[in-house]
Structure 1
Amino acid sequence: MKPFFAATLLLSVAAAYYVYLPLPNTICEPWKLMILDAVFRSFMHMGDLAHDLGLSHHIHVINYFVTKVEVKGPQSSNTVRVTDTSFAGVPARVFEPTTQVKEHHLKRGVVYFHGGGWAMGSGRMRSYDLLCRNMAEELDAVIVSVDYCLAPEAHFPQQYHDALKAATFFLRPEVLVQYSVDPKRVAISGDSAGGNLAAAVVQQMAADNRTATKFKVQALIYPVLQALDFNTPSYQQNGNIPILYRPVMARFWLEYLNGSYSLVPLLLTNNHTALDLTKVPETVRARVDWMHLLQPAFRKDYRRVSPAHGSAQVVEELPALLDVRAAPLLAEDEVLRAVPPAYIMTCEHDVLRDDGLMYAQRLEEAGVAVTRDHYEDGFHGCMVFSSWPAKFSVGTRSMWNYIQWLKENL
């Protein structure tokens, strides 16, 4: 029995070592987050191993596990009818409230884009399914959860084009009539990479005079909005905080833009925006100038990382780093002035915190009404963790606050 106990002890110690992470005491339910992160890291390690052995792309492995564990079929309930369809060839899941209302009653509408680094996830996952059901019931709204194409099969601008096509299709008068949606009460929304797509699409559609129906509001949940500065205060502060690590975000960007992972070190050192490079104009640099765009409470004592010398290789190979369709934070003021009022959620323990805060500041400076919703105990992805077994109190709070804002402003 002694060898058994010894092996058990060693395995327990190894498991504890793998799971444990030193986390700030202000983060929500740290031990639960450690366990959740350990599961995610396991999927990623298995994906990397399969990739290195030439068995499968690492993203395919991760999505396989996500599909097996999370994705569910379109199950209607007494209060919400759920159907899988497509808008302009883009798969989508539609959630419609079934509550009996007076004849000719028009509902709200929300177009939603899921997160996952433009490479993972689905609007058919349990977490998004629950979110959209709650939205449909509470808002008396038709929710369109869009399943845009994913890397590695698709790269920018394909995800953007899918998002734009689906959103444009839903706003067609005959489609709004089909779903009994009020054309004056439609929102666009998304989290993380989905927030990126929502921001990019709403910028394009706000400036497009050919589109008669416009989105009334935009709601962006911890959006990723730029790839010029991987050393903002939030990147420096939260680079090792789950569930989105700083190098992982750089890899997501490279996968989205079809770049080589060998460029990760250059991105992380801001080599692509070194001071001697002219590929990034000063006017563009100013749009990610966190010394101006962030309040002192978020800047803290962090310093800029601006190498004096760099290589133009990154921007030359990835010109989309400067494309506002990929990086909406880089949009000109004139474009921002045309977009609808915004709700922007950020989390203190998230590398993307400052992307959202800088965008909120730029929108406000452009004259756009912005509601900032910041969670001191929040972490990246928390809003979709609001059900068992990955239920966090900050997830439940943030989800209902987000829905309440839509209820009051849409």
Structure 2
Amino acid sequence: MKSAFVVLAALAALTAYYVYLPLPSTVSDPWQLMALDATFRTAQHLCNLIHYMRLSHHLRALNYMIGAIDKLEPPSQGHLKITDTLFDGVEVRVFEPATEQGEALRRSVVYIHGGGWALTSAKSSLYNNLCRTVAESLNAVVVSVDYRLVPDVHFPEQFHDAVRATKYFLRSDVLAKYSVDPDRIAISGDSAGGNLAAAVSQQLSQDENVTNKLKLQALIYPVLQPLDFNTPSYQQNMDMPVLSRFVMVKFWIDYLNGNYDFAYSMLINNHTSLDASQATYFRERMNWTSLLPLTLQKNYKPVIQTAGMPEIVQEMPALLDVRAAPLLAKKAVLQLLPKTYILACENDVLRDDAMMYAKRLEDADVEVTLDYFEDCFHG
């Protein structure tokens, strides 16, 4: 009996050690965050083992686990017509509020889900319920884009899926089919979905063949650049649960079909060293010492290596592709963008991506609303 008590006490101590994390005092719901992170880490460890044993790609295995858990929570339908269909060959889920006779044309939102370009889907209960809430709250038609994922495809295929689906929806005949007002269409997304939403917005704003333009982009803690993993928010939150700096670097490598051997060099900005001439061309467009307020810069210093690994950019040229990194766009492109809403969280490695983009858009005379939550974390 005594030995059993000792074993139980040891297991409890080990569990507490595994789950507990020192967090900033400003974080809301710290135990919820710790539990979420412990669950995610456990799933990642199992999937990495599966990958190591060559049974399946770790991201494919992780997606399978997410799907299995998701089936335990059936998505709520609400008072909406929910339809799975194809827009120019891309899977989408459309949420339509009930139409009343004589009702005016409705507003609409194209939504692109997050997940590191690799996880979850538009059909998960999380995004199903989010889009349902948006559709009901705004009395809006919501088009949730179910783009293809890593490892089945890599950049630029996710971007192409999002562009094709959005461009198809913007056709006048399709908008008429769903009773959508052409002058009240937004695009939105969170995290990697925010990356795709920003990139799609830039692409379509320059496309002269698109007559019905997006009127708003709403970006929720978007991923916007892979060139500097030592912005103040990356340094401050490098070990933050759910989305650490190392996890974000690996998501980028997976998305751009790169080599994991580059990860540790990218963590210290070796891929954008001064001898990587291609990368230095873009440095001013994401110079956080001029784009971030001093309150966020704090005492952090830029990490600029004199000599590094310029071959990383040579082997992963998409690192410098504006379609992957919307923050790198020219000012002339930014000036074409619609009114913008951006949400950023203090305890998030991606905070400064969002803040820098907001500043660049303001400098390009785009109307920007920025919501900054000091007690919130990614996800």
Matched, 1:231 2:212: no
User: Does the aligned pair in 2 maintain the 1:150–1:159 contact within 8 Å?
Assistant: yes
Shift of residue 3, structure 1, vs aligned partner? 2.1
User: Does the aligned pair in 1 maintain the 2:199–2:323 contact within 8 Å?
Assistant: yes
CA deviations over 1:262-313 (Å, ceiling 9, x no partner): 100111010011122212243x100110000000011111001001111211
Matched, 1:30 2:22: no
What CA distance in whole angstroms lies between the structure 1 residues aligned with 2:55 and 2:14? Answer: 27
Residue identity matched to 2:236: Q
Residue identity matched to 1:120: L
CA deviations over 1:207-250 (Å, ceiling 9, x no partner): 11110000010000000000000000000000111110100000
What CA distance in whole angstroms lies between the structure 1 residues aligned with 2:277 and 2:204? Answer: 31
Residue identity matched to 2:256: L
User: Does the aligned pair in 2 maintain the 1:43–1:61 contact within 8 Å?
Assistant: no
What CA distance in whole angstroms lies between the structure 2 residues aligned with 1:270 and 1:30? Answer: 31
TM-score, normalized by length of structure 1? 0.90
Residue identity matched to 1:178: K
What CA distance in whole angstroms lies between the structure 2 residues aligned with 1:297 and 1:125? Answer: 38
4+ runs deviating over 4 angstroms: 71-75
What CA distance in whole angstroms lies between the structure 1 residues aligned with 2:276 and 2:89? Answer: 41
What residue number does 2:70 align with?
Answer: 70
Residue identity matched to 2:340: A
Shift of residue 31, structure 1, vs aligned partner? 1.0
Unaligned runs of 5+ in 2: none
CA deviations over 1:155-178 (Å, ceiling 9, x no partner): 000000000000001111111111
Shift of residue 104, structure 1, vs aligned partner? 4.9
User: Does the aligned pair in 1 maintain the 2:77–2:132 contact within 8 Å?
Assistant: no
What CA distance in whole angstroms lies between the structure 2 residues aligned with 1:330 and 1:237? Answer: 23
What CA distance in whole angstroms lies between the structure 1 residues aligned with 2:123 and 2:188? Answer: 16
Matched, 1:379 2:357: no
User: Does the aligned pair in 2 maintain the 1:74–1:84 contact within 8 Å?
Assistant: no
What CA distance in whole angstroms lies between the structure 1 residues aligned with 2:264 and 2:229? Answer: 11
Residue identity matched to 1:306: I
Residue identity matched to 1:362: R
Q: Helix, strand or coil: the match of 2:147?
A: coil
User: Does the aligned pair in 2 maintain the 1:81–1:96 contact within 8 Å?
Assistant: yes
Residue identity matched to 2:2: K
CA deviations over 1:1-43 (Å, ceiling 9, x no partner): 1222111111111111110000011001101110111001111
What CA distance in whole angstroms lies between the structure 2 residues aligned with 1:85 and 1:74? Answer: 18
Matched, 1:244 2:240: no
Shift of residue 68, structure 1, vs aligned partner? 1.0
Shift of residue 86, structure 1, vs aligned partner? 1.5
What residue number does 1:193 align with?
Answer: 192
Matches within 5 A, 1:6-405: 6-70=6-70, 76-77=77-78, 79-98=79-98, 100-282=99-281, 284-381=282-379
Unaligned runs of 5+ in 1: 382-410
Q: 1:310 to 1:369 in 2, by over 3 A?
A: same
What CA distance in whole angstroms lies between the structure 2 residues aligned with 1:223 and 1:353? Answer: 8
Residue identity matched to 1:190: G
What CA distance in whole angstroms lies between the structure 1 residues aligned with 2:112 and 2:253? Answer: 20
**Length, aligned pairs only:** 378
What CA distance in whole angstroms lies between the structure 2 residues aligned with 1:241 and 1:281? Answer: 29
User: Does the aligned pair in 1 maintain the 2:76–2:129 contact within 8 Å?
Assistant: no
* Percent of aligned pairs with the same amino acid: 54
Q: Helix, strand or coil: the match of 1:121?
A: coil
In terms of mean alpha carbon deviation, does 79-88 or 231-240 score higher? 79-88
What CA distance in whole angstroms lies between the structure 1 residues aligned with 2:280 and 2:17? Answer: 46
User: Does the aligned pair in 2 maintain the 1:230–1:269 contact within 8 Å?
Assistant: yes
What CA distance in whole angstroms lies between the structure 1 residues aligned with 2:364 and 2:182? Answer: 25
TM-score, normalized by length of structure 2? 0.98
Q: Helix, strand or coil: the match of 2:185?
A: strand
CA deviations over 1:126-176 (Å, ceiling 9, x no partner): 121111111111101000111100001100000000000000011111111
What CA distance in whole angstroms lies between the structure 2 residues aligned with 1:69 and 1:85? Answer: 24
Residue identity matched to 1:58: H
Q: Helix, strand or coil: the match of 1:211?
A: coil
User: Does the aligned pair in 2 maintain the 1:251–1:261 contact within 8 Å?
Assistant: yes
User: Does the aligned pair in 2 maintain the 1:83–1:95 contact within 8 Å?
Assistant: yes
What CA distance in whole angstroms lies between the structure 2 residues aligned with 1:62 and 1:129? Answer: 19
What CA distance in whole angstroms lies between the structure 2 residues aligned with 1:41 and 1:353? Answer: 22
Q: Helix, strand or coil: the match of 2:92?
A: strand
User: Does the aligned pair in 2 maintain the 1:108–1:141 contact within 8 Å?
Assistant: yes
Q: Helix, strand or coil: the match of 1:280?
A: helix
What CA distance in whole angstroms lies between the structure 1 residues aligned with 2:361 and 2:318? Answer: 22
CA deviations over 1:78-112 (Å, ceiling 9, x no partner): x21111112111111111111x5342521111000
User: Does the aligned pair in 2 maintain the 1:257–1:318 contact within 8 Å?
Assistant: yes
Residue identity matched to 1:139: L
What CA distance in whole angstroms lies between the structure 2 residues aligned with 1:140 and 1:197? Answer: 24
Residue identity matched to 2:373: Y
Q: 1:61 to 1:48 in 2, by over 3 A?
A: same
Shift of residue 73, structure 1, vs aligned partner? 6.8
